[in-house]
Structure 1
Amino acid sequence: MKKSKLLNLLIAGSIALSGLTGFSSAVSAQTERQDIVNIANKYIGYQITNYNSADFVSYVYKKEGINLSSSIYGLRQEGVLIQNQNELQAGDILFFGTSPKNLLASGIYLGDRKFIIAYKPYKKIKVLNLDSSIAQKYYLGARRVINHQPETPINVPSKTPNNKPNDQNNTPGNQPFDSKNFSQIRQNIINAGMKYLGTPYEYGSSRSDTSTFDCSDFVRQAFKDGAGIVLPTNSRTQAAYVKQKGNYTTDWRKLKPGDIMFFMSYRGYKPSDYKGIDPSTQRITHNGIYLGDGKVLHTYSQESGGVRIDTIEGKHWESRFIFGGSAL
C-alpha cells in the first residue's frame, strides 16, 4: 500500500476535538503535559507548508522549552517507550507506520483517545481518533518525554524517617547528606556553573550539549556537573521540583548559595513597572542559581553575553523574583 493511500485512510478516521517523566512531581508533570496539549491545540486547522509531522511535534515541544529531534527517526529515540495504549498520557508522542523501519507519521496524544497530527499531504493540522480501525492497524507505539525516569541522581544514600543515615550505605565516597556535605555540594554546583561564564544564549537549547544554553538548560547542566543531579527540563518543572522538596522562600535574602531562583517575565527595569503585581500569581519564565552576596548566575539573552552574573537588589530581578529554594 502506498504511503499516501495509507495516511488517507488514517485521516478518514478524523473527528473534531471536543476539548481539550522521574524527578518531576506528579503535579509538575501534569502541568507540563497540559501545556503541550494547549500549545498543540492552537494549531488545529493550520495550513501545512514546509514542515512535516515530526517538525510539528518538535516545534510544539520547543515552545514548552523542551528540545527534541525534528526527524521522525530521531523522535523515536527520545524519552521512553510506551507500548500499551491504555497507559498513554497527554503529551506522549505517537508513531504510525508499517514497521519501526518504515515510519510514516508522528503525532501528539491529547487524551480521550484523540491525537493531533500534521501530515503534509493533507494540507491542514488535524485531530484524529486513535480508535479508528486504520489508526489501530498502523499504530506502532509511543514515546514519553515528560516525566520519564531520568538519569541516576547523586550517589548518596537515603535517610530513614528519623533522619539517621542508612548504615549500609555509610561508606567512603557515599556519605549521607550532612550539613558539611550540603555546603560542599552547593559550592560544587556554583563552581560547575561558573565554568560556563560567557557561554552563548540560545532559546530552546539542546539538553545534550553545552555549546549554548537557555536559562533552565544552564541550571540543569550546573546541577548535573556539580552534583550529579538531573533536574527536569524547563524552569516551571524545575520550580515544581524545588517546591516538592519543601525548602523554598519568597524572600531572596533568605536564600543560600546554590539555591535556584525563579522569576516572572520582564516588564521594565523600574520597580514601578511591577507595582500592583503579585509575583505569586505570575507564570515562571526564567531561573538562575543564587551565588550569595546578592548575586545570581544565569543566562537570558544573546545581547547580554550569555551566562553571566547579575546583582539582584535594586534591579528588575528583585521585582521579578517569585520564589527560590533548594533542589538538594
Structure 2
Amino acid sequence: MKKKLSAAALSVALALTIGTGSVFADSKLNTAIQPTIGVSYKTAGTTTNGFDCSGFTRYVFQKLGVNLPRQSASQYQMGTSVSRNQLRSGDLVFFNTSGRGVSHVGIFVGNGKFAHASSSRGVMISPLSQSYYANRYVGAKRVMSTAKYQATAYN
C-alpha cells in the first residue's frame, strides 16, 4: 500500500513539476517516463521491477525506438555533446558520482530537471541545480536526431 501511495504521490509531483502546457507534458517522452516514476532502484535492473540509472535510460529510449548501450559510461560515448544552456528534453545528462568518471545518467525533461533512477529513492525527477548533482555534473549528450526529437517531444 505504501509503495502505491508513494508512486501516486510521485506521479502527482511529476505532473506539477512538468506543468501543463509544456512541450514535455503530452509527449511520447512523458508517456515513456511517467509509468516508471516511483519504481525502486535495483542494481543492474532494466525493467519496471527495478532500474539502475542506465537500465532506466535504456528502457525509456527503447520505448522511443532508440537503442542505447547498457552502461552509463558507454552511453556517454554516444551522440553529440550539448552545452548545459542548450539542453532540450530527451538529452542524456551524465554525472560522476563515484569519483571514477561517468557513473550516473538521467534524461533531461525540461525546466532544469531530469528523470533518473536514484539509488536511494528509485525513479524520480530532480533539479540539475540540486547541489549533489550540480557538483558532479560531467556533461550532456544528444542521442536523438532532430526528426526523432520532434516525433517524441511533440506527439
Q: How high is the TM-score relative to the length of structure 1?
A: 0.35
> Rg: which structure is higher?
1
Q: Is the 8 A contact 1:92 1:109 kept in 2?
A: yes
For structure 2, the 5+ residue unaligned runs are 1-12, 46-51
Q: Is the 8 A contact 1:37 1:90 kept in 2?
A: no
For structure 1, the 5+ residue unaligned runs are 1-15, 21-29, 149-231, 238-282, 284-328
What is the rounded CA distance, in whole Å, between the counterparts of 2:90 and 2:102 in structure 1? Answer: 19
Q: How does 1:211-250 map to 2 (within 5 A)?
A: 237=151
Q: Is the 8 A contact 2:66 2:144 kept in 1?
A: no
SS in 2 for 1:143: strand
Residue 79 of structure 1 is matched in structure 2 by: 79
Q: Is the 8 A contact 1:37 1:91 kept in 2?
A: no
Matched, 1:63 2:45: no
Residue 35 of structure 2 is matched in structure 1 by: 42
- Post-superposition Cα deviations, 1:220-251, rounded to whole Å, max 9, x if no partner, equal xxxxxxxxxxxx66xx95xxxxxxxxxxxxxx
| Letter of the structure 2 residue corresponding to residue 138 of structure 1 | R
Q: Is the 8 A contact 2:108 2:115 kept in 1?
A: yes
Q: Is the 8 A contact 1:34 1:91 kept in 2?
A: no
SS in 2 for 1:102: coil
Q: Is the 8 A contact 1:88 1:109 kept in 2?
A: yes
What is the rounded CA distance, in whole Å, between the counterparts of 1:19 and 1:55 in structure 2? Answer: 23
Deviant stretches of 4+, over 6 Å: none
1:101 Cα deviation after fit: 5.0
SS in 2 for 1:142: strand
Normalized per residue, the structure richer in strand is 2
Residue 139 of structure 2 is matched in structure 1 by: 141
| Letter of the structure 2 residue corresponding to residue 103 of structure 1 | V
What is the rounded CA distance, in whole Å, between the counterparts of 1:39 and 1:97 in structure 2? Answer: 25
| Letter of the structure 2 residue corresponding to residue 132 of structure 1 | Q
By relative contact order (CA 8 Å, sep 6+), the higher-ranking structure is 2
| Letter of the structure 1 residue corresponding to residue 72 of structure 2 | I
The alpha-carbon distance between structure 1 residues 62 and 100, as it changes in their structure 2 partners (threshold 3 A), is farther
1:99 Cα deviation after fit: 8.7
Residue 131 of structure 1 is matched in structure 2 by: 129
What is the rounded CA distance, in whole Å, between the counterparts of 2:121 and 2:129 in structure 1? Answer: 23
1:98 Cα deviation after fit: 5.8
SS in 2 for 1:90: coil
Let me know the Cα RMSD of the aligned residues: 2.9
Q: Is the 8 A contact 1:91 1:144 kept in 2?
A: yes
Among all aligned residue pairs of Structure 1 and Structure 2, give the percentage whose two residues are the same amino acid: 27
What is the rounded CA distance, in whole Å, between the counterparts of 1:53 and 1:141 in structure 2? Answer: 16
| Letter of the structure 1 residue corresponding to residue 35 of structure 2 | K
The alpha-carbon distance between structure 1 residues 111 and 62, as it changes in their structure 2 partners (threshold 3 A), is same
Residue 114 of structure 2 is matched in structure 1 by: 115
- Post-superposition Cα deviations, 1:103-159, rounded to whole Å, max 9, x if no partner, equal 22100111011111113x3252111111112221111111111226xxxxxxxxxxx
Q: Is the 8 A contact 1:115 1:128 kept in 2?
A: yes
What is the rounded CA distance, in whole Å, between the counterparts of 1:117 and 1:98 in structure 2? Answer: 13
What is the rounded CA distance, in whole Å, between the counterparts of 2:59 and 2:130 in structure 1? Answer: 26
Q: How high is the TM-score relative to the length of structure 2?
A: 0.69
- Post-superposition Cα deviations, 1:293-313, rounded to whole Å, max 9, x if no partner, equal xxxxxxxxxxxxxxxxxxxxx
What is the rounded CA distance, in whole Å, between the counterparts of 1:91 and 1:100 in structure 2? Answer: 26
SS in 2 for 1:38: helix
What is the rounded CA distance, in whole Å, between the counterparts of 2:107 and 2:120 in structure 1? Answer: 17
Q: Is the 8 A contact 1:56 1:118 kept in 2?
A: yes
